[in-house]
């Protein structure tokens, strides 16, 4: 994951937003979108060459595959290391199910997803470092809340069942929409095409929407402060990025970009 603590104003994105603002009729959701994208976009992926804080070159870049693996790995390794320490351990099966879900997400993100990236843009080292720091701290906090000496038992009730279902739907949706994006490129190809299929028919940030649902479900099920904070961090990170992607697509593809498509929430926003 990318931490919201490395968010920056990215000039190219702001320009794209302004263009789309001029071209469109005024509406509350669009102004909200512009405000979000003005606030924060991490300079990686399609924005990795953009200026951040007015500076265009923030040091070396790391190949996308390596960056994703290294920056996500702490959330897989830290819980496993912590759980074998004295005083740690899962108090009941529900805690185990939730931690397993967390670990499965990061096993995919750190080990499987990077191997399948096609033509991903390199990541600035400082972005990778801040994401690494976030996954390190977050891995410890989530593992601690579920299996640390201070962990409470998560009740096996409707909130747990509903949250787990939401988590699973979000996780599967996220992986599916990541795969749709991957399929837009042939091996060795770079560049961008208009995403098609699934929720991309409705929103530009379909993979992000699913990831937000995933961690919201996790928070509902866990009911721990750390899970709720994590879900909000994900939302504050990915919602502005979806808005920026949407403006970027509209600026790049113009009339060819489906006009009914929204940034993040189908039909609304
Ligand atoms: P993007 O959607 O920007 O990119 C995903 C991959 O698809 C990249 O390799 C990108 O290439 C490629 N791609 C994207 N759009 C197109 C297109 N139109 N045509 C061709 N290829 C395309 O996602 P992110 O890189 O920001 O995130 C990747 C995953 O990580 C997502 O599932 C996201 O939900 C998750 N994530 C989670 C966060 C969290 O806070 N939990 C934070 C950030 C990401 P390129 O690199 O060249 O742009």
Q: What is the pLDDT of residue 201?
A: 98
Average pLDDT estimate for 77-86: 98
Structure confidence at residue 54 (pLDDT): 67
| Contact 185 CB / ligand 1 (< 6 Å) | yes
The residue with tokens 């091996």 is 187
% pLDDT > 70, the chain: 83
Q: How far is the centre of ligand 1, averaged over its atoms, from the C-alpha of 180 (Å)? A: 11
Regarding predicted confidence, which is higher, 180 or 50? 180
Is 89's C-beta closer than 6 angstroms to any atom of ligand 1?
A: no
The string of pLDDT tens digits covering residues 125-160 is: 999 999 999 999 999 999 999 999 999 999 999 999
Mean pLDDT for 217-240 is: 98
What is the predicted pLDDT for the residue at 40? 57
Mean pLDDT across the chain, nearest whole number?
A: 88
Asked whether 157 and 32 are in contact (CB, 8 A), the reply is: no
Residue 64 has pLDDT above 90, yes or no: yes
Angle (nearest 5°) at CA 79 between 90 and 229: 90
Residue nearest to atom 24 of ligand 1 (CA): 45
Helices 125-147/93-107 angle, 10° precision: 170
Confidence bin at 42 (pLDDT 50/70/90)? confident
Q: List all residues 6 or more positions away from 167 whose beta carbon is below 8 Å from its beta carbon.
A: 101, 214, 215, 217, 218, 221
Q: Is the CB of 48 under 6 A from ligand 1?
A: no
180 in contact with ligand 1, CB cutoff 6 A: no
Closest Cα to atom 15 of ligand 1: 181
pLDDT(48) > 70: yes
Alpha helices, DSSP H only, in the chain? 11-23, 28-39, 64-72, 74-83, 93-107, 113-116, 125-147, 158-182, 206-222, 225-253
- Tell the residue nearest (CA) to atom 17 of ligand 1: 192
Q: What is the pLDDT of residue 38?
A: 39
Which pLDDT score, from 0 to 100, does residue 41 have? 76
| 103: pLDDT strictly greater than 90 | yes
Query: Is the pLDDT assigned to residue 6 strictly greater than 70?
Result: no
pLDDT > 60? residue 267: yes
Using a 6 Å cutoff on CB, does residue 210 contact ligand 1?
no
């Amino acid at each position: 994951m990318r931490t919201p603590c490395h968010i920056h104003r990215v000039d190219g994105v702001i320009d794209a937003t302004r263009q789309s603002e001029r071209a469109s009729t005024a509406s509350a959701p669009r102004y909200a979108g512009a405000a979000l994208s003005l606030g924060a976009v991490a300079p990686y992926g399609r924005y990795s060459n953009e200026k951040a804080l007015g500076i265009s070159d923030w040091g070396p870049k790391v190949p996308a595959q390596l960056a994703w693996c290294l920056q996500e790995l702490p959330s897989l390794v830290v819980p496993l290391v912590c759980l074998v320490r004295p005083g740690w351990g899962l108090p009941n099966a529900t805690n185990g199910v939730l931690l397993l879900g967390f670990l499965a997400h990061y096993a995919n993100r750190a080990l499987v997803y990077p191997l399948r990236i096609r033509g991903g843009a390199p990541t600035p080292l400082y972005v990778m470092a801040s994401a690494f720091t976030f996954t390190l701290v977050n891995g410890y906090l989530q593992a601690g809340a579920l299996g640390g000496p201070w962990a409470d038992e998560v009740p096996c009730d409707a909130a747990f069942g509903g949250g787990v279902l939401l988590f699973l739907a979000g996780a599967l949706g996220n992986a599916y929409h990541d795969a749709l994006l991957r399929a837009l490129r042939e091996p060795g190809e770079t560049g961008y095409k208009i995403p098609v299929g699934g929720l991309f028919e409705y929103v530009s940030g379909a993979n992000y929407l699913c990831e937000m649902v995933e961690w919201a479900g996790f928070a509902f099920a866990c009911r721990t402060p750390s899970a709720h904070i994590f879900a909000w961090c994900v939302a504050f990170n990915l919602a502005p990025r979806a808005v920026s992607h949407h403006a970027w697509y509209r600026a790049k593809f113009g009339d060819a970009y489906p006009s009914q498509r929204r940034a993040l929430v189908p039909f609304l926003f």
